[in-house]
Amino acid sequence: MEIPLPLPDDDTRPFWEGCRRRELLMQRCAACGRFRFTPRHLCPSCRSQRCEWVPVSGRGTVYSRVICHPPVLPAFAPRAPYAVVLVELEEDATLRMLGNVLDCPPEEIEIGMPVQVDFQQLTDEITLPQWRRAS
């Protein structure tokens, strides 16, 4: 069953277009250099509209994780129980992304576990950033 897909908007489209090319891009203020995620129109520090999209390492650690048991949305039921992780990127503590660890059973995922980004193509337009266990 198909899962709900992201609906990119003007502020988030560069992120999703990067994922489609299997590149993890983060938004950075072109005026003060501050990273920000999730994407938004203005820099919350200096209020500049100017931003750049910067490739990042894709290395991070699991900052928190939950394991979702039924009842869940029917689209996710075939994979339940499944883990959702919050990954903190090594570039900045506020760059935290939700995702799934593709190569690890839910109960083996621990907070602090190193992970590396991978990409999961769902449609021609949408590729999700996902995670694999790293050493």
Shortest Cβ distance from residue 55 to another protein (Å)?
19
Asked if residue 57 lies in contact with residue 116, where contact means CB atoms within 8 angstroms, the answer is: no
Q: What are phi and psi of 33, to 5 degrees?
A: 85, 5
C-alpha 13/C-alpha 18 separation (Å) is 8
Shortest Cβ distance from residue 4 to another protein (Å)?
5
Asked if residue 106 lies in contact with residue 81, where contact means CB atoms within 8 angstroms, the answer is: yes
Shortest Cβ distance from residue 59 to another protein (Å)?
18
Q: Is the peptide bond before 38 cis (omega within 30 degrees of 0)?
A: yes
Query: Please, which residue, 53 or 63, has the CB nearer to another protein?
Result: 63
Q: What are phi and psi of 31, to 5 degrees?
A: -95, -50
Chain residues binding another protein by CB under 8 A are 2-9, 12, 37-38, 44, 63-69, 72-73, 76, 79, 81-82, 84, 86, 93-100, 111, 128
Query: Please, which residue, 38 or 49, has the CB nearer to another protein?
Result: 38
Shortest Cβ distance from residue 69 to another protein (Å)?
5
Query: Please, which residue, 48 or 94, has the CB nearer to another protein?
Result: 94
